[in-house]
Amino acid sequence: MRKGTFIAGTDTGVGKTYFALALMEALKRQGYKASGMKPVASGGKYIKGKLINDDAYLIMQHCSETIDYDLINPFVFDEPVSPNFAARQAGVIVELAPILSSYNQLTLLSDYTVVEGIGGWRVPLSDDIKMNDLVHELALPVLLVVGLRLGCINHAILTAEAIRSDGLVLCGWVSNQVEKNYLYKEETKILLSRELACPNIADLVYMDDINYAEMSKKIDLSHILGFGVR
C-alpha cells in the first residue's frame, strides 16, 4: 500500500518546500522510496524552452527515482502571483483530473509521496477550485507548516480549524523559525501544541544556509507513517 502526506502552510513563504524536501530526505534515510509533488506552482523560468518552477525542480531532484518534471508539477505559471490569477493570465484552467492522475502515477513509483501546496489553505486555483478541494480529492492527511513570525498564532489556529472543518485529518504541525530574532519561540510552540491538538513533529531552527540532511534529522516520522494509506 502506498502512503502520502499533504504539506499545507499558514501562508506563503513559511517554508513548505524546505520542510517537504527535509521530509523526503528523512523518509529516504529510513529506507523508503520517496517522491514529491507540487501540483500547482506560480513563478517559473524557461530552461531549454520549458517553464520550470524552482521549488518543483528541487522536489524532482530529491526524489528517490528519476521522475519526469511534468508528473511533479502538472500546472506551472510564469507570474509569481496567486495561481488563479496566473492561470487566467496564461489562458489555462486548473483542473483536478490531471493532478490526480499525476499523483496516482507517482504512488506507483515510490513508497511515500509528499505533496506540497501553494500559498494558504484556501487559496483559489481557479474560479471553482480552491486548494482544500484538491486535498479533499487526494484524501491525504495534512501536515501544517507554521512560519514562526508575528501573526503566526492566529493564522495557525484558523488554518487548523479550517482543515478539520473540511473533514480532513491534521496529523501534525511543524514549527519553522523563519525570522532569525523571533521572540517567544518556546512560548509560541507550547501554545500552538495545545491549541492545534496534534503533535509538533519537527522544530526547524533558522538557517542562513539550508541543510536538508540536518533538517531531516529533526523530523519525528512516527506520527505520520501510520496515515495516508492509499
Known catalytic residues are 38
* Residue whose cell numbers read 505533496: 115
Name the amino acid, one letter, at 182. Answer: Y
CA angle 125, 177, 202 (to 5 degrees): 80
Determine the Cα–Cα distance for residues 180 and 132; give it in Å rounded to an integer: 31
Determine the Cα–Cα distance for residues 218 and 140; give it in Å rounded to an integer: 22
Name the amino acid, one letter, at 108. Answer: L
Distances in Å between the Cα of 35 and the Cα atoms of 17, 129, 143, 219 are: 13, 25, 16, 17
Residues in the chain: 230
Helix (H, G, I), strand (E, B), or coil: what is residue 178? coil
Task: Please give the DSSP secondary-structure letter assigned to residue 206.
Answer: P
Determine the Cα–Cα distance for residues 114 and 134; give it in Å rounded to an integer: 14
What element of type H or E holds 145? Answer: strand 142-147
Determine the Cα–Cα distance for residues 92 and 85; give it in Å rounded to an integer: 10
